Amino acid sequence: MTLAVRLEQAGTALELVPGGGDIEVYEGTVLGSVMAPSRPVIQLDDVQLPVSWHQGARLAVWSMDLTNQVGFHRLSVQVAGATHTFDFRTSTAKATWEEVRSMAEVCANSYFGYRRQFAYMAANGTIRKVRLPQIHYAWLRDRLPEIERLVRSINHRPAVSHVRTVEVSLRSQGLSVAQTSRLLREKHHLLERAEGGPIQVGGVSYWPSRVAVHTRERQTQLDEHVQIAAFLQVLAAQCLDLATVVASPVRTEVQGFAELLKVLRALPVFRGLLVRPDAKPATVLPTTMQRSDKRYGRMRDLHAEYGADIADSTDFARSIRANVKDVWEVYQTFVAHVVGNALGLDYSSPDRDLRKRSAQGWSMRSEEWRLFFDTKPPKHVLSSWRDAAGRPADERPDILLVHPATGRVIVLDAKFKLDAQATRATQPDLFEMQGYLNSFAAKSGGIIFPGPTLAASRIAAKGNSLLELPIRADHFAEAGGATSVHEYVREAIKSLSI
């Protein structure tokens, strides 16, 4: 059954087509309708919508409020036991995705050396990545030859595990006294009466007709092989997904990567294995086999590296939808990287993850500064007057800069605004920052927002300073690179101490 789903907004009617995603609406109220043989269940981005059903006309009508709902959306219509999906986007989605991708490009180029994807924490607490195809492709190009060599070596000479088991035997070689005693207590009929027998029961001697012995079995179908096979399956599927978004000159090469991975997965060492796509190591620590055999240990490392730095469980299309939806969190992480690097700070973690903090809670540091990112400051670093009250505020500044030598602090808040023409921070944002400063008894703070030009403004009076600091990804190209942007940020933050 083919359904005709119509969206109406500002006097314009648009028809959604399954599999199409070119329909675009403005943020705001949108009316939807569909003719169906029975009352349908309508969901927008997996959230069910209330529907008005007109039985006589076989017509379902609903309303969607897309105010501040920038992004790509999926409408699902469930009717007569079948579910039909339709994709559309807001008019701000394309521009927002370009902004998100630009932020990821800047971090990948300036801070990560294209070794890992840009990662951030979504509002629901999950870690997500802004997946750049060129980083994914570069990892596959660099790592696949090693993966092929390791897998073919394992197939040629798989590791063998010796498993110690107990079985019932007529022979006594490898006898287990404890297991034999347990066996005979449970099965008395295995005792045969005989003179001189080693077992005495009520003055009568017995010989056991069967005993329990230890044996060693060789196993080649190891859990490690299941993990490797699952990894190969994931890589092959991700290659096919990557081929849909890369430029045509490399598409054939990426498809070749997928074919090679399928060939490796079909090698004899992996045949007959029941593999779940989400198969993961059973323990955080490597197994004995992965510690003793470097081939297995290296495959585990590559698997972990791919999952942590390159890809995740979603495809590129779903990842893009999530990134656009999370643009505020993406911007928050982006500006923290920019500010930290502008001040010459070092990351707490080797992989430059802002959420892998030091024991003291900071994400980046230098001799002069400590940078705390999206966390409640430790009380010994900065406390709020409300911490001593009955209802603590639990403020989590986006960026907190602390000067340990002097105790000076600068509170910075990231505010992503879609209006590229905005040259100043909004009054509500400035009032919110004033609340932070009041709570922490601090004198210096600032709003970071994606203004159109590298032109900071300072509001200062009576020893208090508020900084309006425009930062956006486009500035890096316009200013000629990271060096100029970093100098601009340093000078702006320095002005807060004047």
- Tens-level pLDDT at each residue, the chain (498 residues): 578 899 999 889 999 988 776 889 998 999 999 999 899 999 998 899 999 999 999 999 999 999 878 888 989 999 988 999 999 999 888 888 999 999 999 999 999 999 999 999 998 889 999 999 999 999 999 999 999 999 999 999 998 876 676 677 777 777 777 887 887 777 877 778 887 777 877 778 877 878 777 776 655 558 889 899 999 999 999 999 999 999 888 999 999 999 999 999 999 999 888 777 665 655 567 888 888 899 999 999 999 999 989 998 788 988 988 899 899 999 999 999 999 999 999 999 999 999 999 999 999 999 999 999 998 888 777 777 776 676 776 778 899 999 888 888 888 999 987 555 577 877 888 888 887 787 777 888 889 999 889 999 888 888 788 889 999 999 999 999 999 999 999 999 988 865
> Residue 92 has what pLDDT?
85
Let me know how long the chain is: 498
The one-letter code for the residue type at 397 is P
Same domain, 350 and 208: no
Residue 351 lies in a domain: yes
Residue ranges in 37-190 assigned as alpha helix (H): 93-107, 133-156, 177-186
Backbone angles phi, psi at 332, to 5 degrees: -55, -45
Same domain, 465 and 442: yes
Residue 116 lies in a domain: no
> Residue 100 has what pLDDT?
95
Same domain, 168 and 26: no
Same domain, 233 and 175: no
Residue 270 lies in a domain: yes
State which of 32, 63, 91 marks the end of a domain: 91
**Residue span of the structural domain in which 185 resides:** 161-219
Residue 33 lies in a domain: yes
> Residue 280 has what pLDDT?
60
> Residue 284 has what pLDDT?
64
Same domain, 300 and 284: yes
Same domain, 179 and 293: no
Q: What is the largest CA-CA distance in the chain?
A: 109
Q: How far apart are CA 42 and CA 184, in angstroms?
A: 67
Same domain, 408 and 304: no
Residue 148 lies in a domain: yes
State which of 31, 60, 91 marks the end of a domain: 91
CB 265 within 8 A of CB 233: yes
Same domain, 378 and 469: yes
State which of 41, 66, 91 marks the end of a domain: 91
The bridge status of strand 24-25 relative to strand 82-90 is parallel
Residue 241 lies in a domain: yes
> Residue 420 has what pLDDT?
53
Residue 15, beta-bridge partner list: 6
Same domain, 361 and 393: yes
Same domain, 335 and 474: yes
Residue 118 lies in a domain: no
> Residue 498 has what pLDDT?
56
Tokens of 34: 């569909």
Residue 119 lies in a domain: no
Same domain, 344 and 367: yes
Tokens of 189: 């009929």
Same domain, 330 and 454: yes
**Rounded (5°) CA angle 495-428-103:** 65
Burial of 110 (0-12, 13-18, 19+ CB in 10 A): middle
Number of domains in the chain: 4
On the CB side of 166, how many CA atoms lie within 13 Å of its CA?
11
The one-letter code for the residue type at 225 is H
Judged by DSSP in three states, 414 sits in: strand
> Which distant-in-sequence residues (6+ apart) come within 8 Å of 318 by Cβ?
none
CB 183 within 8 A of CB 210: yes
First to last CA, the chain: 70
